[in-house]
Amino acid sequence: MKKVMCISWLSFFAAPKKVMCFGTFDVLHEGHRFYLSEAKKLGDYLVVVVARDETVKKVKEKQPLHSESERVRHLKQLGIADKVVLGNPGDKLKVVEDERPQVICLGYDQTFFTDKIKEKLQERGVSVDIVRMPAYKPEMYKSSLLREK
């Protein structure tokens, strides 16, 4: 007897679920790998937005150790993200409008530009789910701690 495989046409033509993460990713470590890997499990396509050098300097009050282009290259080499892009130096939500993710994953300690992000995006016609990701050994894998070593 021959088996017939049945494919739902709706799922066949459905767009992949896009997930977006943000960060500086200056000293890439296991906590970042965990954050990105867990975020990727929430969808089919992961876009990672890397903070611009000028944004890092403004937010963290110090220059990143690695340039924005180096940080993009390192994330691409990591091989978890499907797409790595630089953030917008002015309008921080423009990249979300451009990419139209269904899910935004925030790091456990991410606070900059996250206040009322869901509401701000809804005002722009972008509907997303916001997920706060858990920490992974923050006593060991936190960029500020690793940077001091």
Tens-place pLDDT, residues 128-146: 999 998 786 656 555 554 4
CB proximity list for 27: less than 8 A, separation 6 or greater = 65, 66, 143, 146, 147
Phi, psi of 141 (to 5 degrees): -115, 80
* Catalytic residue check, 142: no
What is this structure's pTM?
A: 0.82
Residue 111 has pLDDT above 80, yes or no: no
Rounded CA-CA distance 135/50 in Å is: 19
* Catalytic residue check, 2: no
Tens-place pLDDT, residues 27-79: 888 999 999 999 999 999 999 999 999 999 988 888 899 999 999 999 999 99
Return the DSSP state at 14: P
Which domains can be identified in the chain, with CATH numbers?
13-148 (3.40.50.620)
| Helix or strand run (H / E) with residue 25 | none
Predicted local confidence at residue 146, as pLDDT: 44
Catalytic residue among 58, 62, 83, 94: 62
3 state DSSP class of 76? helix
Residue with the bigger pLDDT between 84 and 115: it is 84
